[in-house]
Structure 1
Amino acid sequence: MTLIEKIIANHSEKKTVVPGEIVDICIDVRAARDFGGANVVKNLVENNLEIADTSRTFFTFDCNPTGSDQKYAANQQTCRMYARDHGIQVYDIDSGIGTHLVIEQGLATPGSTVVSTDSHANILGAVGAFGQGMGDQDIAAAFANGSVWFKVPKSVKLTLSGKRPENVSAKDIVLNLLHRFGANELLGYSVELYGAEVETLSLDERITIASMGTEMGAIIVMFPPSQAIMDYCEARSGKKLEMIQADADAVYDQEFELDLSSFVPMVSKPGHPEDTVDINEVKKSKIDSAFIGSCTNGRMEDMRITARILKDRKVAPGVVLKIVPATDEIWKQCLEEGLIKIFKDAGALVGNAGCAGCAAGQIGQNGPGEVTLSTGNRNFAGKQGKGSVYLASPATVAASAVAGYITTEDDIPAEPVVFAPGKAEQAAAAKKKAAVEARPVVVEGKVWIIKKDNIDTDMIYHNRYLTITDINEMGKYTFDNLKGWEDFAKKAECGDIVITAKNFGAGSSRQQAVDCFKSLGIQAILAESFGAIYERNAINAAMPILTYQNIAELDLKDRDKVRVDFANGTLTNLENNKTVQITPFSDVQMAIYKKGGLLG
């Protein structure tokens, strides 16, 4: 049998298994991370399932190890509470990447089985273990049953012959493999790596290569464990382990041999990890930011390589470098070896151990138009933000961060390239110069009457949405934190008018609490009084707001149609033609309103 077949057979009731066969496998390590962990808990609770073996069951909070995102924080707390009730160990936000932790903590060893809500759980192939990323229901079943069904994959034997060039890193090796096999030629296969140079690869290098098996479509990339790997795992687990190897007469669906000496430093172009090119094809491409970390390249060796290049150097002006070690143990080792000081002296941001930019994590996101060079494993559009992402080795990323453009360690310029002063967009300038269309001073619309005092800006537009800058996206969140009015945005119609009570807009200075109404097409807001900052924000944004003393005689009810005269200060209920006097626009408010805003 092949490596994967041996591991599956050893964890099933069968002595031998063959490709295509479906068997139940006992799972040695069952983990759920903050990304998906709450859904695992939900599945367990809703189906009244118990935990089969808490000693084999874990939560790992690695996607957002700062809890800086409200949804992640909520998911993490859901998992913590469940873990407390059931005696499950949590590797919390101070720990690092779950798939690395199970190796580091000696939970996963050669020949073992591991499942996680992490598509890169096949990193475990680095130590000759079976690791698989699975969905929430699968993981819940593993928690409850201790086993899951699995279809035995076909195996590929891949031999790397020849000598590895000195300038080719483990990341370059896997990018060369992606160049050769693309994203689907190895789809569904278990790939075993062999060769004299392969045997000498360190654990950190094996993790880098195994991590990107997912990007090649492989079930797993497996390394037969070397003696060094066996010694490491025995020390970490405290157990005497048996070496696992494929049989000499193992049957492989396909066999390949590639010349490692022909491999070159490579870069993945934005959008697709498999779109790899010789680094010389993209050399001197300007970058805005750089990222070193992820489950692919957040290891100690990667940190040392980064420090070697950054020592006594500075990150190029205008470039942001973010560094995130894979585990807390590595972070502390960086501290002990003085690497953190080197990173900080160079001008880098160093984050908590974790996954960082993947899955909208805590560090590594980029903005529209931003060009990032990253050591991550994925660069799909939108995966790491709204910019574009190149993938490369830690040495390439560190060298490029210093240079200001994509380059190699042996070709760092004496002086970094800096950004040239930009020009204002002509379209934006033309828009500002365009004449403001005459704005109506009398409007008509249906009313919403909200009889509540002290409606603050968090009730109007909650702080969890403050990162939104596109006014077109703001409207749907209006009042979603105001009890009884959470569905306002769904019911409101363009042209509506809001009438409320005292101190509307109390609280923070957030402009979104004004702009969300403009986004919905609300024509005016009337209140007995407004929060001081809110009043200024609304007037400056040309959002019509007016105050009133008493409008009881209008006999208004929700969805009555009214007319508001900004200049003369009148409010008329068009259902009964009753009119009352309200406070008209001041000269300043009218001037700002007519030109479309303070900056119009």
Structure 2
Amino acid sequence: MGKTIIMKIMERATGHPVQVGDRVWCNVDLASARDFGGINAVLEYEEEMGKEAKVWDPDKIAFTFDLQAPSHSEKVSNNQKIIREFAHRQGIRHLFDVNHGVGQHVMLEAGLIKPGDVVLGTDSHMNLLGSIGAFATGVGNSDVAASYVNGKAWFRVPETMRIHVTGTFPKGVYMRDLITRIIGDLGANGMDYLAVEFTGPTIERASIAERITLCSMITEMSGKIPLILPSGPSLDWLVERAGQEVLERTLQLQPDADAVYCRELSYDVSTLVPLASCPDAPANVKPVREVEGTAIDQVHIGSCSNGRFEDIQAAHKVLMAAGGKISPSVRVIITPTTREVQLACIEAGYAADFLKAGIIFTNPTCALCTAQHYGALGSGEIGIATNNRNFIGKVGKGSHTYLMSPASAMASAVQGVITDPRDLLK
């Protein structure tokens, strides 16, 4: 029986053959923690091991300050201070402070993630790093703290689903619409503890940004890990940052021709239309046309799902096609994922155009993924976001959120009501 990608990754991490269903200890390549959650991992480690105990490998530990960046309270500031001091005592070099951006994206840009890596993190959407063929997963604070001791973590080898994607996206339709369609088809439990391999010509030519968008939503179907091996421009992008080892690993991780999959699906993006996840669940999917005209109060474009340069570029294109103005009845916030993305938007002139339009263009951060950041919605307000979740009250008690692509979000910002972007991109 042939091996899937996840089986090959876990065999590399354990040093011996594995089969689906096996419980195995994996060597961890990187244990990361955010400012939110990271503080608990640090305090738990020091409580159990003592303040003088050294971590197993300081070069395989990272901290990212992205949820509350910069800090908005004394409590958060003190927590971040404790993490900084821990990193200094332990000789941990990979501390990405409040001026860097969303952790997964920052670590990718820094070349810390390679295909086949096992990566832990205190974020339920760590698995978006499967976009370059890494086995990254969100775990509890205790799991991260435990990995500091001996660099290992325990997993069950998952079954694998395969999704084959063909076709070219029509104008106004994007990778976000594809993953929204898949969530609508499979539902909240449709990938329960599964690995999923994305294949096909549409995936092979997809950019890093598109791959991240696709993988960032797998958690919303209870999936364990999405996996896309680097190819084309995305392979070049990763080699430039993480080194030539990427090429060898990409070859080694190719699934066997006789690998067994628990389920196989096919999608042709040529037939897709703009879609929205309607309140109050990502799986409540409808065409944007069906909810068109719904009045909105705020639009947020950003998050780990859709805050890359290409995402912001798509929103900018819609804005300029509409004359560079947004509706006076709508608040619009755009948040780049990283400082690198922010600089690219400034150099391209997008930031100036957004500011002239009355849009708030922020520092790189997780921003309005939760109500713990500036811009939370008021009770009864309706928002649009490119985030990965829209559970009731997630960005404000009593509020409701529609999830959609950056282009659909900007089209709605321009009109003041939910709008199909194809109407502005003729």
Instruction: State whether residues 371 and 377 of structure 2, in contact with CA within 8 Å, keep that contact through their aligned partners in structure 1.
Output: no
**1:95 maps to what in 2?**
100
| Displacement of 1:142 | 1.7
**What's the % identity of the aligned pairs?**
39
1:287 aligns with 2:304: no
Q: Distance in 2 between matches of 1:69 and 1:209?
A: 34
- Are residues 1:353 and 2:353 paired? no
1:79 aligns with 2:83: yes
Describe how 1:349-388 pairs up with structure 2 within 5 A: 349-386=360-397, 387-388=399-400
CA shift for structure 1 position 163: 4.1
Structure 1 contact 403–412 (Cα < 8 Å) conserved? no
Q: 1:196 Cα shift?
A: 1.5
For the pair 1:62 / 2:66, whether they are aligned, the reply is yes
Change (3 A) 1:335 1:163: closer
Q: Check whether the contact 1:400–1:412 (CA below 8 A) recurs between aligned residues.
A: no
Task: Tell me how far apart the structure 1 counterparts of residues 339 and 401 of structure 2 sit (CA, whole Å).
Answer: 26
In the other structure, the counterpart of 1:45 is: 46
CA distance in 2, matches of 1:341, 1:166: 25
Distance of 1:163 and 1:227 partners within structure 2: 16
Structure index of larger Rg:
1
Question: Which of 287-296 and 62-71 deviates more?
Answer: 62-71
Q: Please name the residue that 2:7 is paired with.
A: 5
3-state DSSP class of the match of 1:201? coil
Q: Within 5 Å, which residues of 2 pair with 1:206-355?
A: 206-241=211-246, 242=248, 243=250, 244-311=253-320, 312-355=323-366
| Residue matched to 1:403 | 415
Deviations 1:521-577 (A, max 9, x none): xxxxxxxxxxxxxxxxxxxxxxxxxxxxxxxxxxxxxxxxxxxxxxxxxxxxxxxxx
Instruction: For 1:225, give the aligned amino acid.
Output: P
Provide, for residues 467-500 of structure 1, a one-character-per-residue CA deviation record: whole Å limited to 9, x for no partner: xxxxxxxxxxxxxxxxxxxxxxxxxxxxxxxxxx
TM-score (norm 1): 0.67
Secondary structure of 1:372 counterpart: strand
Q: Distance in 2 between matches of 1:132 and 1:52?
A: 20
Q: Say which is worse superposed, 223-232 or 325-334, in terms of deviation.
A: 223-232
Distance across 2 between alignment mates of 1:131 and 1:275: 27
Name the amino acid aligned to 1:256.
L
Deviations 1:167-217 (A, max 9, x none): 320110100001111111211110111111121111100000100000011
Q: Which of 185, 189, 197 is residue 184 of structure 1 equivalent to?
A: 189
Secondary structure of the residue aligned to 2:79 is helix
CA RMSD, 1 decimal: 1.5
* Residues in 1 aligned to 2:219 and 2:296: alpha-carbon distance in whole angstroms: 27
**Is the contact between residue 110 and residue 230 of structure 1 (CA under 8 Å) also seen in structure 2?**
no
Query: In structure 2, how many angstroms separate the alpha carbons of the residues matched to 1:195 and 1:230?
Result: 16
Task: Look up the SS of the partner of 1:11 in the other structure.
Answer: helix
**Distance across 2 between alignment mates of 1:194 and 1:299:** 22
Pick closer, same or farther for the CA change 1:362–1:41 going to 2, 3 Å.
same
Q: For residues 320 and 372 of structure 1, what CA distance do their matches in structure 2 show?
A: 9
Shift, 1:72, TM fit: 2.3
AA at the equivalent of 1:17: V
Shift, 1:262, TM fit: 3.0
Q: State whether structure 2 residue 25 is matched by structure 1 residue 24.
A: yes
| 1:566-581 equivalent positions in 2, closer than 5 A | none
* Residues 149-180 of structure 1: CA deviation (Å, up to 9, x unaligned): 11111101111234433332011010000111
C-alpha distance in 2 between matches for 1:361 and 1:296 = 18
- Counting matched residue pairs gives 412
Does the 8 Å CA contact 2:289/2:420 hold for their aligned counterparts? no
Residues 96-147 of structure 1, C-alpha deviations (whole Å, 9 max, x = no match): 0111111111100122121110110001111111110011001111222211
What amino acid is the match of 2:74?
A: Q
What is the TM-score of this pair, normalised by structure 2? Answer: 0.94
Aligned residue identity for 2:23? I
SS in structure 1 of the partner of residue 14 of structure 2: coil
Contact 1:66 1:362 (8 Å CA) reproduced = no
Change (3 A) 1:251 1:364: farther
Structure 1 letter corresponding to 2:385: S
Query: 1:85-234 to 2 correspondence within 5 Å?
Result: 85-88=89-92, 89-234=94-239
| DSSP 3-state at the match of 1:360 | coil
- 2: CA distance between counterparts of 1:146 and 1:204? 30
